[in-house]
Structure formats: C-alpha cells, structure tokens
C-alpha cells in the first residue's frame, strides 16, 4: 500500500508537470455508427481543430506568496460539466497515434473555479505580487499555505472529474477505432482484388486500342489518299472547263479587239487630223488674239493721246458740316455742247470786291472768272465716278506706259481724300490708290489667260523740306531714320530708285490697305490756319509694274505714280500760329518752291526745251521718268467751295490752266 502524499506535495507535483489538461467537447463519432472511411480519414476526424480548442479558455497563472511554491495553473470551468473527449483504448499503432493526436490538440487555458459565498477571495491572478511575509510571521505563512491548499484541493477535484470524462471518451474512441480497423482490412482486400481485375482489363483494353488505332490509321491514310485523288481529279476537270471558257472568251475578245483596233486606228487618224486642224486654228486664233490685244493697246494709247498726254481735271469738294454755305451763284458749272447730259468741262467763279465801286457809289458787280478743263467734278461727284474717268489711264500703265497722277490744291481742298480716301472703312470713300491697284490686279488676272504674267512692287515716300523720307519704314529702320537718296538703279540705267526705302511686292488689296495705313501714320502733318491737320509734304506712291509673255518672249514694264502734293496756299493765309511759326514758314517756302519747279518742268517739256530743270526739286527729279515724252500725266486741281478761300482757289485754277495748255509728244511704251 502506497503511503499517502500530503496535499501540498500534490499541488507542487501538479504545478511542476506544466501540462494543463484540456476540456473540449468530443468530436469522435457516436458509438454504434458505421462510418465507411479509411484509417487516415478516421485520424483526420479524431484530430480537433485548433480554432475550437483555443476558444475554450486561456491559461491563468497564480502568483503564490509562499516562497517554496511555484505558480499554479488552473483550468477554468465552463457552464455545467464539460465532457472531456473519450479516447478509445490502444488497439494498435494507428489508434494510439490518433489518441495521442487528440490529446495533443485538445489544449486550452486553465479555468478558475467559481468563488463560493462566504469564502475568502483567492489571490488575484496576474496582478501585483503580495508583499513577502517576514520569516518570523509563521502564522501568516501558515494561513497563506492553507488558502493555497484549499484552492489546490478544489482544483484537484475538478481535474479528477475531467480525467474521468476523458477516460470515458478514450474508451469509446478505441472501440470505434477497432471497428473501423476491421472494416478497413475487409475493404482493402476487396480493393486489391478489384485492382487486379482492373489491371488485367486495362491491359486487354490497351492491346485492343492499339490494334484499333493501327487499323484506323491505315484506314485514314487510304481514305485521305482517295479524297486527295478525287479532289485532284475535280480540280483538273474544273481547270479544263475554265481554260476552255477562257479560250473562248479570249477568242471573242481578240476578234472584238481586232475590230476595235481597226476602228481606233481610223479614229486616231481622224483625231490626229482634227487635232492638227485645231492646233492650227488655235495658233491662228492665238495670233489673232495677240494681234487684237496689240491693236487694243495701240488704240487705247491713241485714245489717251487724243485726250491729251497732259490732262487736267478739276474737282470741287462739298461743303463740310459746320462750314458756311456759299452764296448762290458763287460757283457755276455751265453745260457742255451736248446739253446737261454731257460731263461738265467749264467752271465759272464769281468774285465780289468791296473795295471797288462805281461813280454813283454803288458796289461794283462781281468779277466772273471762267476756266475750262478736260473734266470738272462738281461737289456731288463720288469717288467711283472720279476713278471711272481715270481707269483707262491706269490701264496704260499695265500696257507699258509710265503714268503720273497728281492731286494739286490748297490745304483742306480734298487732295488726300481724292488719292487715299476717307479715314473709315467705307468702300464708297476709297481713294484712287486702292481703286487703281484693285483694277490692275483684276486686269492682270484676265490677261493671264493670254499668257501674260505680271508682278507689282510698291513703295511710298514723302518729300518734306527737300528731304526724302520712307513712309513704309518700321521697327529699327524707322527708329534709325536713315537718310534716303535718289540714285540710278545701276550704271547706264535710266531707272531711278530711292536708297534705304522699302520696296514691297503686293498681290492683293489687303496688302495695299496695310501699306496705306502705315504710310498714314508716318506722314508729316501739322496744324495750319486753314486746316487742323494739314499735310506738309509731298507723298509719292510708286507701283513698278513688270509684265512678261513667256510664249512670245515679250516683256513690258512701267511705273504708276500717284502723288498727293502739299498745300499750295500762299505764305500769309497758311501761316501757323504759336511758337512753330518759323518752322511753318520754312515748310511753306519749300512747298511753293517744289510746286514752281513742277510747273517749270511741265512748261519746258511742252516747249521741247533742250534743258529740263528736273534737279531743281527732289519731287521732279524722282518723277522725271514719268514726266517725259513717253509718259502720260494727269493733274487733279482740288478747290474749296467756300467764298473765303476764293483767292487760293483762283491761284490753283490759274496754275492748272497753264498746265492744261501744255502738250507733250507722242508716248512710247517701254517694251523689250
């Protein structure tokens, strides 16, 4: 008989073992149930899942106050009595392994038994260790050991109950394992027998399959060969039929082609004869058209010569808003020989002089001044009517004749409006310069159908105080203000050019409008007594026209000059007020000097003098190639309708009358 162990030693033995018991619901099959599964599947069924094992509780270690007792690990008790898994008895190696697996995986933390009422609370788990009792406090140490002993007894009782439950589950599991082992051995025998039969059947089936495959392969080869031969035969038959059809079609096509060829040859011969006739006719008509064009140019030039190579038009501007209305009968436009339908060519101006009187003391009757020009435009004449009269003259520049058109008159008489147009974008107010270039571009486009090609190069300069300035200068060239000089284009050349001036190729109206806008910004203007913004310089717009007929080797070239002269008023009425009086005096002297030189040049050309004073003025020197015998010249004399400007109007009309009396020889075109 074993000696009885003290409770304290049992507690210490349980603590040192450090193997907490696991309580979990049994996952083994119920006794008496027949499970048709193998031994491996039975082991998997016996092995519990770790997730469920971990959910049963966590181990809690008690910290003991007794120095000789280690920490106690207890198992918590769940609601009611928890049945431990039943492990069957050991019946073999595989069954013992399954039981060991169940016991190994059924791990859960120890549980603390519920505290009974009236008992002292056990020491707190995982909390702060109680203070160590002194060695002399044996009574306190004994109390602590009694408390621990009581807890250990309760724990031992709980563990015994759980052990009994686990033993019961183990016995049941062993019984099930024994039954499953017997069933497994029976099934293994049947499986071995079936596998032997299956192997024999599989071998026979393999032999038969091999033989069948050989036969099928031979059959497929023979069938493929037969099909290939049949397809080849069908292809040959189809190819024979196609070739026969193609041969028939080719024969028919050949016959049709031979017939068409004979017809085409006859048609080609006919077309060649017709083309030769058309070419001859075209050449004949081209020659005739060229002859007609030359005849048109000759007749056009003859018509212009009959009108006069120097012509003078007079234009009277309308009364502007804010100006006094002239008295009735101040300006008269008598009808021509054909009546009112004829364009007016005569102008009568009446001037009253209060200083003159009769013997009876009555005022003297107004003096009548009559003038006759090639054409007179009353105040109601529009820009289109004015250009229609000079359009034929502009056409002469395209035919190779130098053309020069002047706008002459006092300040504020409408010279700039006549040449450039109004400041707005109204098409009805466009001046002669934009209208002339639009006409030239249009006619050049029409002549391109006859083999003529034209190019246009524009320049715009002003002559201010006998100094030439470029009105098209921009950017750094404008800031530098380089001096412009009139020079020969080359050694032995009669063509004149302006150094440091821009020569811009133009081909459309938009480019011309941009040049006019730029020139308007750069032109020298000043305030005078007769106009708030007066042009104090001569502006010269030059368009060099070059034409070529490559088919006939013809070339022609001529300049078109459109000149807006400075105000022609005498010194006193045009004198500016203020500190710039001396500068205005110098400007007026230079303007009057250049205008006088222009009159002298025209008179010298009319009288066919040996010396023509071109170099007396920069204006006449620049325009000398457009003033000679091969040139055509037109002067617009612009006058004001106001009575207060009658003196200047008479001076302008008298100067224009002298020019109108001049006759220049027959013009010759510049052709090569």
**What was the pLDDT predicted at 290?**
67
- The parent domain of residue 428 ranges over 308-661
Q: What is the predicted pLDDT for the residue at 306?
A: 59
**Regarding predicted confidence, which is higher, 512 or 570?**
512
Of 423, 422, 454, 449, the closest CA to residue 439 belongs to 454
Q: 635: buried, middle or exposed (CB in 10 Å: 19+, 13-18, 0-12)?
A: buried
pLDDT tens, position by position, 202-216: 999 999 999 999 999
Average pLDDT for 278-292: 77
* pLDDT attached to residue 400: 87
**pLDDT above 60: residue 533:** no
Q: What is the mean pLDDT of residues 433-448?
A: 92
Q: For 38-79, how does the pLDDT look when each residue is reduced to its tens digit (9 = 90+)?
A: 444 444 444 444 444 343 343 333 333 344 434 333 334 433
**Is the confidence at residue 346, as pLDDT, over 60?**
yes
Which of 329 and 144 is assigned the larger pLDDT?
Answer: 144
Q: Roughly how many angstroms between the first and final C-alpha of the chain, as a whole number?
A: 157
Note every long-range contact of 3-11, with CB atoms under 8 Å and residues 24 or more positions apart, other chains counting: 7/149, 7/152, 7/153, 7/156, 8/69, 8/145, 8/149, 8/152, 10/152, 10/156, 11/69, 11/72, 11/148, 11/149, 11/152, 11/155, 11/156
pLDDT score recorded for residue 664: 66
Q: Is residue 219 part of a domain?
A: no
Cα radius of gyration (the chain): 66
Q: Binding site annotation covers 60?
A: no
> Does 391 reside within a domain?
yes
Are residues 636 and 568 in contact, defined by beta-carbon separation less than 8 angstroms?
Answer: no
Query: Alpha-carbon distance 504 to 634, whole Å?
Result: 25
Q: Which residues pair with 312 in a beta bridge?
A: 635
* 523: pLDDT strictly greater than 80: no
Cα 41 vs. chain centroid, distance in angstroms? 76
Give the span between the Cα atoms of 374 and 381, in whole angstroms. 15
Pick the residue with more confidence: 579 or 231?
A: 231
In the chain, % of residues over pLDDT 70? 70
Q: What is the DSSP string of 38-81?
A: -HHHHHHHHSPPHHHHHTT---EEEPPSSTTS--EEE----SSP
pLDDT, one tens digit per residue, over 117-135 is 443 444 444 444 556 788 8
Mean pLDDT of 82-102: 41
Q: Per the annotation, does 547 bind a ligand?
A: no
Question: What is the C-alpha to C-alpha distance for residues 381 and 371, in angstroms, rounded to an integer?
Answer: 19
CB atoms within 10 A of CB 323: 13
Instruction: Kindly report, residue by residue over 613-662, the tens digit of the pLDDT.
Output: 999 999 999 998 888 777 889 999 999 999 888 889 999 999 999 888 88
Among 119-123, 225-229, 264-268, 426-430, which stretch is predicted with the lowest mean pLDDT?
Answer: 119-123
Query: Which residues have CB under 8 Å from 549's CB, separation 6+?
Result: 450, 451, 452, 453, 555
What does the pLDDT look like over 245-274, one tens digit per residue?
Answer: 999 999 999 999 899 899 889 999 999 999
Q: Is residue 129 part of a domain?
A: no
Residue 270, marked binder: no
What's the chain's average pLDDT?
77
Give the Cα separation of 272 and 662 in Å (integer).
60
Q: Which of 72-81, 533-542, 566-575, 580-589 has the lowest mean pLDDT?
A: 72-81
Coil, strand or helix at 560 = strand
| Residue 505 confidence (pLDDT) above 70 | yes
Three-class DSSP category at 540: strand
Q: Is residue 200 part of a domain?
A: no
Q: What pLDDT, on the 0 to 100 scale, is given for residue 330?
A: 86
- Residue 474 is predicted with a pLDDT of 82
The b-or-e profile of 468-497 (16+ CB within 10 A means b, else e) is: bbbbbbeeeeeeeeeebebeeeeeeeeebb
Distance CA 643, CA 646 (A): 5
User: By C-alpha distance, which of 540, 440, 551, 553 is closest to 497?
Assistant: 540
Taking the C-alpha atoms of residue 319 and residue 642, their distance in angstroms, rounded to an integer, is 7
Tell me whether residue 411 is annotated as binding.
yes
Asked if the model's pLDDT at residue 238 lies above 80, the reply is yes
- Of residues 509 and 294, the one with the higher pLDDT is 509
Using pLDDT thresholds of 50, 70 and 90, give the confidence band for residue 303.
low
Does residue 248 form part of some domain? Answer: no
> Chain centroid to CA 545: how far?
39
467 phi and psi angles, rounded to 5 deg: -125, 130
CATH number of the domain at 544, please: 3.40.850.10
Q: What is the 3-state secondary structure (H, E, C) of 75-119?
A: CCCCCCCCCCCCCCCCCCHHHHHHHHHHHHHCCCCCCCCCCCCCC
Q: b/e string for 107-128 if b means 16 or more Cβ within 10 A?
A: bbbbbbeeeeeeeeebbeeeee
- Predicted local distance difference test score (pLDDT) of residue 493: 77
Compute φ and ψ for 445, nearest 5 degrees.
-65, -40
Q: Which of 550, 472, 538 is nearest to 511 (CA)?
A: 472
Query: In the structure, what pLDDT confidence band is assigned to residue 482 with cuts at 50, 70 and 90?
Result: low
Using alpha carbons, list the distances in angstroms from residue 534 to 19, 526, 576.
124, 5, 11
Can you give the pLDDT at residue 481?
61
Highest mean pLDDT among 37-46, 348-357, 523-532: 348-357
Residue 233 lies in a domain: no
pLDDT beyond 70 at 385: yes
262 is in an annotated binding site: no
d(CA 395, CA 388): 11
Instruction: Give residue 344's pLDDT band: very low, low, confident or very high (50, 70, 90).
Output: confident
Residue 610 covered by a domain: yes
Q: Is 593 annotated as contributing to ligand binding?
A: no
Lowest pLDDT segment from 170-179, 419-428, 476-485: 476-485
If you write DSSP's letter for every residue of 380-410 in order, what string do you get?
Answer: T--HHHHHHHHHHHHHHHHTT--EEEEEEES
* Amino acid 184: pLDDT: 92
Residue 423 has pLDDT above 90, yes or no: no
Establish whether 410 is an annotated binding residue. Answer: yes
pLDDT digit string, tens, across residues 551-567: 888 888 899 999 999 88
Q: Both tokens of residue 568?
A: 């022609």
Average pLDDT for residues 303-308, to the nearest whole number?
62
Was 361 annotated as part of a binding site? Answer: no
Residue 312, SS3? strand
Q: How many domains does the chain have?
A: 1
Model confidence at 295, in pLDDT bands (50, 70, 90)? Answer: confident
pLDDT level of residue 94 (50, 70, 90 thresholds): very low
């Amino acid at each position: 008989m074993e000696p009885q162990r003290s409770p304290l030693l049992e507690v210490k033995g349980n603590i040192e073992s450090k193997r907490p018991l696991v309580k979990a619901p049994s996952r083994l099959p119920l006794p008496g149930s027949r499970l048709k599964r193998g031994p491996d599947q039975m082991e998997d069924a016996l092995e519990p899942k770790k997730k469920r094992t971990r959910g049963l509780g966590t181990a809690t270690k008690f910290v003991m106050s007794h120095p000789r007792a280690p920490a106690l690990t207890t198992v918590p008790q769940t609601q009611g009595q928890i049945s431990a898994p039943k492990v069957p008895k050991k019946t073999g190696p595989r069954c013992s392994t399954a039981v060991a697996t169940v016991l190994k995986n059924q791990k859960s933390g120890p549980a603390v038994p519920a505290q009974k009422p009236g008992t002292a609370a056990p020491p707190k788990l995982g909390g702060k260790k109680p203070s160590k009792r002194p060695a002399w406090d044996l009574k306190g140490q004994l109390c602590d050991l009694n408390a621990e002993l009581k807890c250990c007894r309760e724990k031992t009782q709980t563990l015994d109950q759980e052990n009994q439950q686990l033993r019961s589950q183990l016995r049941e599991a062993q019984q099930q394992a024994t039954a499953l082992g017997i069933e497994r051995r029976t099934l293994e025998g049947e499986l071995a027998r079936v596998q032997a039969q299956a192997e024999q059947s599989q071998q026979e089936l393999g032999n038969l399959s091999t033989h069948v495959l050989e036969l099928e392969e031979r059959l497929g080869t023979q069938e493929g060969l037969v099909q290939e031969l049949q397809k080849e035969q069908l292809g040959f038959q189809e190819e024979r039929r196609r070739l026969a059809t193609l041969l028939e079609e080719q024969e028919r096509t050949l016959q049709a082609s031979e017939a068409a060829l004979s017809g085409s040859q006859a048609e080609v011969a006919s077309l060649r004869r017709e083309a030769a006739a058309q070419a001859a006719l075209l050449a004949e008509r081209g020659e005739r058209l060229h002859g007609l064009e030359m005849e048109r140019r000759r007749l056009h030039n003859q018509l212009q010569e009959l009108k006069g190579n120097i012509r003078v038009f007079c234009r009277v501007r309308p009364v502007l808003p804010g100006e006094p209305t002239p008295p009735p009968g101040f300006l008269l436009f008598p009808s021509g020989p054909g009546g009112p339908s004829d364009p007016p060519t005569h102008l009568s101006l009446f001037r009253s002089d209060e200083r003159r009187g009769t013997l009876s003391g009555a005022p003297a009757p107004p003096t009548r001044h009559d003038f006759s020009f090639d054409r007179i435009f009353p105040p109601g004449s529009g820009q289109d009517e004015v250009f229609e009269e000079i359009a034929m003259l502009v056409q002469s520049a395209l035919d190779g004749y130098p053309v020069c058109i002047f706008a002459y008159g006092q300040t504020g008489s409408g010279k700039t409006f006549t040449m450039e147009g109004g400041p707005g974008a109204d098409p009805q107010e466009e001046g002669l310069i934009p209208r002339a270039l639009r006409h030239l571009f249009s006619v050049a486009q029409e002549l391109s159908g006859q083999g003529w090609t034209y190019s246009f190069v524009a320049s715009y300069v002003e002559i201010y105080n006998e100094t030439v300035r470029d009105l098209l200068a921009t950017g750094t060239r404008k800031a530098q203000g380089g001096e412009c000089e009139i020079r020969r284009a080359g050694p032995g050349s009669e063509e004149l050019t302006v150094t440091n001036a821009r020569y811009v190729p133009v081909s459309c109206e938009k480019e011309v409008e941009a040049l006019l806008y730029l020139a308007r910004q750069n032109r020298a203007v000043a305030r005078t007594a007769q106009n708030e913004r007066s042009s104090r310089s001569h502006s010269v717009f030059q368009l060099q026209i070059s034409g070529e007929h490559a088919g006939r080797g013809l070339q022609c070239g001529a300049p078109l000059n459109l000149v807006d002269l400075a105000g022609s008023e005498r010194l006193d009425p045009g004198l500016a007020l203020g500190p710039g009086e001396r500068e205005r005096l110098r400007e007026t002297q230079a303007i009057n000097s250049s205008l006088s030189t222009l009159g002298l040049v025209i008179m010298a050309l009319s009288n066919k003098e040996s010396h023509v004073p071109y170099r007396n003025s920069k204006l006449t020197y620049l325009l000398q190639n457009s003033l000679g015998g091969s040139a055509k010249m037109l002067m617009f004399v612009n006058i004001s309708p106001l009575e207060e400007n009658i003196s200047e109007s008479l001076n302008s009309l008298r100067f224009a009358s002298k020019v109108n009396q001049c006759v220049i020889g027959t013009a010759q075109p510049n052709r090569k």
